[in-house]
Amino acid sequence: MLRKATITKEELKSWCSNTRVESSEDQELLDNYESWCTKNSVFGQLKELKKEALGENDPKWDTNVSSYLQSGNENKKLTDDNGNAKSDHTLKDKKELIDWCKRNLTTLYKQGSATTEAYIQWCTKDIANAEATPTPASEA
């Protein structure tokens, strides 16, 4: 396994190149590989999730701020700089949410992480008509 404090850049490159995770059932190995050997950012993953980042003037910001302040969003809290969920649902205003989203746009995408989940919940919207499949004329 990797030891963050002792590995060199060359050792990390070698470990990533030589580690086979395709069929591994070792969750720790998979987590290490994902954390150290992949570079997919939250922004880079949005298209695959059929999402897009909210524009600065999008009216959904106001809705998201109101929803965030409700207590029912325990698993979608904004995170601090260390990736830990904040202990409360305080949010000064829309600007604070927009700034948090901008800071986290390029963070490492890690499925299930608090930062990734919060970003997708509060900073994105579904892509309109994302690859909509037309209905055949015979079924219309």
Residue 60 in any domain: the answer is yes
Q: Within 10 Å of residue 120's Cβ, how many Cβ atoms?
A: 16
**Domain housing 53:** 42-126
In the block, tokens 């015979």 appear at 138
Q: Is residue 88 part of a domain?
A: yes
**Total of domains in the chain:** 2
Residues 18-67: tens digit of each pLDDT: 887 766 788 888 777 777 777 677 888 888 899 999 998 999 999 999 88
Same domain membership, residue 114 and residue 65: yes
What is the rounded distance in angstroms from the CA atom of residue 73 to the CA atom of residue 14?
41
Q: Is residue 138 part of a domain?
A: no
- pLDDT tens per residue, range 69-112: 876 566 688 888 777 777 666 788 899 999 999 999 888 888 88
Residues 30 and 75 in one domain: no
Q: 100-109 b/e with 16+ CB inside 10 Å = b?
A: bbeebeebbb
Whether residue 98 sits in one domain with residue 84: yes
What's the rounded Cα separation, in Å, for the pair 129 and 122? 20
Model confidence at 118: pLDDT above 70: yes
The answer on 53 and 33 residing in a single domain is no
Distance CA 123, CA 105 (A): 9
- 120: pLDDT strictly greater than 90: yes
Classify residue 96: in a domain, yes or no.
yes
